[in-house]
Chain A
Amino acid sequence: MSLEQVTKADQPATDDEAMLVRVQREDFSIDEELRRVRARSKRIGGIAMFLGTARDRSKGKDVDGITFEHYEGMAQKKLREIRERALKDFDVIEMLVLHRYGAIGIGENIVLIIAGAEHRAEAFQACKWAIDELKQITPIWKLEHTPEGEVWVEEHP
């Protein structure tokens, strides 16, 4: 990685860019986040979105709730890297990457990726790449609350 890339990912360049990559405790509005991406360019003609939500089963066991822990600073840096690489390596115009932390109830929103491109193929491709990459490189950990106790999720499915 070049020094320039490291420096870029270390800090968001503008307030707008800071809003496009966030790690936050509170829930988010999908409509509001979609508006944020659409407002970035009138050239966007296809938007693909991935929303991850908390489900009540994990590896055959009941789950009552989830707590996400993150490494403040590094998590944001990795999400910024994902956005910057998506903008560079895929033909997308804008990307939003948002992940929640803290206690999350079953059915609630966890993670949101929105990719805006001129056409659908690039938007789908970048969106899928971003969520796969997020799971690989972002220091976020999941504690599942089950009737038998709490379990840190160790492995990616």
Chain B
Amino acid sequence: MVTVRLFGMTKMLAGNQGTLSLALHDGKRVRDLVAVIEAAYPKIGELLQKKKVLLSVNQDIAHEDLEVKDGDEIALLPPFAGGSEGC
């Protein structure tokens, strides 16, 4: 099982869960994980496809070819909005 941390609107799109626990059966790369997320949470999947939501592994934005290992810290990152609006 892989645990994926959620933030901001991705949390809302997953029914206000803070994390997702997903089983990876068909491959161990980021693209395989994205496929699992797309199947279970189509709205999040669409945002991942449009690159509006990014996936990070161990606090770095991950490429789709990256291998996901046990114990990796994985998160879905919606568009950032730090600072204050218009600043």
- The residues of A with any CB-CB pair to B shorter than 8 Å are 50, 52-55, 58, 68-71, 73-74, 77, 99, 110-111, 131, 134-143, 152-157
Contacts and interface: CB of A to CB of B under 8 A. Distances in A.
9 contacts: A55-B84, A69-B8, A71-B59, A110-B84, A111-B82, A135-B87, A139-B80, A140-B81, A152-B8
A152 B78 contact: yes
A51 to B, nearest CB: 9
A74 B62 CA distance: 14
B49 to A, nearest CB: 16
A74 B59 contact: yes
- Interface of A, secondary structure class, is mixed
Given A71-B7, A152-B8, A137 B83 contact: no
A67 to B, nearest CB: 10
A71 B75 contact: yes
- Chain B CB count within 10 A is highest, among A131, A141, A155, for A141
A99 B82 contact: yes
B27 interface: no
Given A152-B8, A152-B9, A111 B83 contact: yes
A152 B86 CA distance: 16
B59 A135 contact: no
B42 interface: no
B81 A156 contact: yes
Contacts of B81: 135, 140-142, 152-156
A121 to B, nearest CB: 21
A153 B52 CA distance: 12
A68 B81 CA distance: 9
Contact of B82 (A58, A135, A155): A135
Contacts of A153: 81, 85
B83 A52 contact: yes
Nearest to B5: A71
A150 B9 CA distance: 11
Contact of B56 (A70, A74, A140): A74
A128 B83 CA distance: 12
A141 B80 contact: yes
Contacts of A138: 80, 82
